[in-house]
Structure 1
Amino acid sequence: MSERRGGETPRGPTLFLERQSYRRRRLSEVARLMPIFGAGLFMVPLLWPVGDESEQVQTSSAILYLFGVWGGLILAIALFGLVTRSWAQSDQREID
């Protein structure tokens, strides 16, 4: 039976990603998915029932929902920017 060296498995060497490149990749994935998530939230009112007056959603409720989603997306993107900036600064400190 052969000895295994550190970092190797029977299938080959293990893949190790640096913390900085891993974070950057995950952040880019979140940035790509945010518009799709937002579009999905904006389309939710299209699923609301249309029919009798007893089942209909009021227009004012729909408008409040849309503005709430819009404001929530603005806050989410602002927080995402702050987190990204702080991670970039901490990664830069590790490099220096």
Structure 2
Amino acid sequence: MSEAGPPRRGKPPVFLERQSYRRRRVIDTARVLPFIGMLLWLVPLLWAEEGAAAVRSSSAILYLFGVWALLVLGAVVLSSRLAAQGRYGAEPGGEGG
């Protein structure tokens, strides 16, 4: 129980395993993704409808489809990262999720 040097004051450093930290950040991103998508889908409501710079409905539909495609792509990337981390990060007999 003898330590070399003077005793440390303050909070001890917090150690988080790198894999569990990354997994939690990916899970947090997956939780936020629907809200980001909702906000991006609401953007066309802010576009001007009157005046010379009116937005055509075909542009709005292409925008919505593009947002949808990006959301699907983001969900695929996040789910593959979670699956890979679950496959290689889980130990037999461990918590696993």
- CA deviation digits over 1:7-64, x for unaligned, max 9? xx52132111122331232122111110111011101111111212x21000000001
Q: Does 1:73 align with 2:71?
A: yes
**Closer/same/farther in 2, CA of residues 44 and 4 from structure 1, 3 Å limit:** farther
Which structure exhibits the higher relative contact order, with contacts defined as CA atoms closer than 8 Å and separated by 6 or more residues?
Answer: 2
In structure 2, what is the Cα distance between the partners aligned to 1:21 and 1:56? 49
The answer for unaligned runs of 5 or more in structure 2 is 93-97
Q: Which runs of 5+ in 1 are unaligned?
A: none
Bigger mean CA offset, 19-28 vs 66-75:
19-28
- Normalising by structure 1, we get a TM-score of 0.79
Q: CA RMSD for the aligned pairs?
A: 2.0
For these two proteins, the number of residue pairs brought into alignment is 89
User: In the aligned structure 2, how far is the partner of 1:16 from the partner of 1:77?
Assistant: 29
**1:1-96 superposed matches below 5 A:** 3-4=5-6, 9-52=8-51, 54-92=52-90, 95=91
Identity in percent:
40
Q: Secondary structure at the residue paired with 2:54?
A: coil
Q: Give, in whole Å, the separation in 2 of the partners of 1:43 and 1:56.
A: 17
2:11, 2:71 → 1: CA distance? 43
